[in-house]
Every structure is written in C-alpha cells, then in structure tokens.
C-alpha cells in the first residue's frame, strides 16, 4: 500500500469519527477492508470517499458512513453469527467478517454473488458463506439442515413497510436486525430487537436511501460492472 492510499484511509476514518462513529472496532474494520477492491475500476479514485458508488445491475456499494452506522448499531461481537441480506459487491459483508464469528450472506443477483466470493477469497476472508437466493425468505434449508436463529441480521435493501416475517423468525430472542424501511424518498433505517418469541421493539436510526428489497432470484444476464 502506498502513502497516498494510507492517507486516503486515514482521512476516511477521521471523517467517520467527525460524523459520530465512535466504535473503534468498527472503525478498525473499515480501515482494514480495501474498499478499492469492491468498486468498478473507473471509480477506484473515489473508493475512499464517503459516498455510495454504482456497481452494476442497478446496485450500489453503500456510503462508508452508512456501513459504519449500521454495523455500529448492531453492536457486533466476535461471538455473533450474522445473516446479511443483499451481498452486493461484498463490502459490508467484508467489514462484518472482521467483527463477527461467522457471516452468512444472500444475494439475488448470481453475478454479484460470484464476484463477491472471488473478493472474499482474494482477501482471505474465511468466515463468510455466500449464496444466491431469495433473501426475503431468509437462509434456506440446505441438505436438510435448517438454519439456526441468528444473533444479528443486516438488510441492505429497503422493505416497503416492515421486515419480511421470515427474517424476524430467523432472529434469536435478544437478537437485533437493522433494515431500511419505507417508500423511495421516505426510507428510515430501523433497528429491531426481538424481545421474546412474540414481541420485538423498534428504534428509528436515521433517514437513508437504498434500493428496494425484492423477491426471488434475478435472472438478468447483464455483465456486472465491477472487475
């Protein structure tokens, strides 16, 4: 890593601190993940700026502040098993992998999922399992094995009015889920905590802008812009 890249990382971390991110573990994870590996080649000069960038198929890599805020709000620990809905380019998942025991991630675009897995392999991130599936249904039964309830769930696409019930059902009692909710232009990042088998609490975190949470596996065959 050259001096210029180091300086860009330092500036981003200082910017996140100034914007209110205080969890040093989260800041350290963001500093360690090379964001330039997760953006298209033509955007790499902007990789360490605090902005969202397009990655192809109508998807974006989230703004680092939003990644940091969502991660910080969950209070991730090295004992946690996390479910992520919306792998995208894999950046948020990579950040989580430095904080959690295990991360399971679902992407509806097969091309994005495959490319993300290549990045995880390149970076030596061994605690991630990624599949292409319908994230609105949660983690599927695979080889007859049912998914265990997750300590934390993070959703990087916006539900219209409330989280899918399948995701709430896969959250442990005492576990937390962060998800954007609302129509385009009026989305609020919400933190849900499952208080019991039947009840959960909800806290508004901040206004956000995300692509919509959609069902099924995409059958688009357009090339992905990320390389």
Who wins on pLDDT, 37 or 3?
37
224, pLDDT greater than 70: no
Residue 223 placed within a domain: no
- Segments in the chain forming alpha helices (H): 3-18, 24-32, 64-74, 91-97, 110-123, 165-169
pLDDT band, very low/low/confident/very high, at 220 (cuts 50, 70, 90)? low
For the chain, the average pLDDT equals: 93
The per-residue pLDDT for 218 is 78
* Total domains, the chain: 1
Q: How far, in Å, CA of 67 to CA of 174, rounded?
A: 22
Question: pLDDT tens digit string along 120-179?
Answer: 999 999 999 999 999 999 999 988 888 889 999 999 999 999 999 999 999 999 999 999
The predicted model gives 5-19 an average pLDDT of: 94
Q: How far, in Å, CA of 29 to CA of 66, rounded?
A: 14
Residue that is written with structure tokens 């992520």 in the block: 84
Residue 57 placed within a domain: yes
Q: 197: domain range?
A: 3-208
Assign 136 to helix, strand or coil. Answer: helix
Residue 225 placed within a domain: no
Residue 224 placed within a domain: no
Annotated catalytic, 62?
A: yes
The per-residue pLDDT for 223 is 41
Judged on CB neighbours under 10 Å (0-12, 13-18, 19+), 134 is middle
The per-residue pLDDT for 227 is 31
Residue 23 placed within a domain: yes
The one catalytic residue among 62, 97, 161, 218: 62
**Residues facing 176 on adjacent strands:** 152, 193
* CATH number reported for the structural domain that contains residue 37 in this entry: 3.40.50.150
Question: pLDDT tens digit string along 19-66?
Answer: 999 999 999 999 999 999 999 998 899 999 999 999 887 889 999 999
Q: Name which of 208, 159, 203, 211 is nearest 188 in CA terms.
A: 208
183, pLDDT greater than 70: yes
Residue 188 placed within a domain: yes
The conformation of residue 152, written as its DSSP 8-state character, comes to E
Q: How far, in Å, CA of 90 to CA of 156, rounded?
A: 11
The per-residue pLDDT for 3 is 80
The predicted model gives 213-222 an average pLDDT of: 75
Residue 221 placed within a domain: no
pLDDT band, very low/low/confident/very high, at 194 (cuts 50, 70, 90)? very high
* Other beta carbons within 10 Å of 42: 11
The per-residue pLDDT for 225 is 39
Residue 100 placed within a domain: yes
């Amino acid at each position: 890593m050259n001096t210029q890249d180091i300086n860009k990382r330092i500036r981003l971390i200082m910017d996140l601190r100034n914007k209110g991110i205080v969890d040093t573990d989260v800041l350290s994870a963001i500093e360690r993940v090379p964001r330039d590996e997760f953006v298209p080649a033509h955007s790499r000069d902007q990789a360490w700026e605090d902005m969202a960038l397009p990655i192809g198929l109508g998807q974006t890599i989230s703004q680092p502040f939003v990644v940091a805020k969502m991660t910080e709000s969950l209070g991730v620990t090295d004992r946690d098993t996390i479910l992520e809905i919306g792998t995208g380019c894999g950046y948020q998942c990579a950040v989580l992998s430095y904080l959690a025991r295990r991360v399971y991630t679902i992407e509806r675009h097969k091309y994005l999922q495959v490319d993300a897995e290549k990045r995880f392999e390149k970076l030596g991130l061994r605690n991630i399992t990624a599949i292409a599936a319908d994230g609105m249904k949660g983690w599927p039964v695979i080889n007859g094995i049912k998914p265990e309830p997750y300590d934390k769930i993070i959703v990087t696409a916006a539900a219209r009015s409330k989280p899918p019930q399948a995701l709430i059902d896969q959250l442990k009692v005492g576990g937390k889920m962060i998800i954007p909710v609302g129509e385009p232009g009026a989305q609020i990042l919400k933190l849900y905590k499952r208080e019991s088998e039947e009840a959960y609490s909800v806290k508004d975190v901040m206004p956000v802008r995300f692509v919509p949470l959609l069902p099924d596996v995409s059958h688009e065959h357009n090339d992905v812009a990320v390389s």
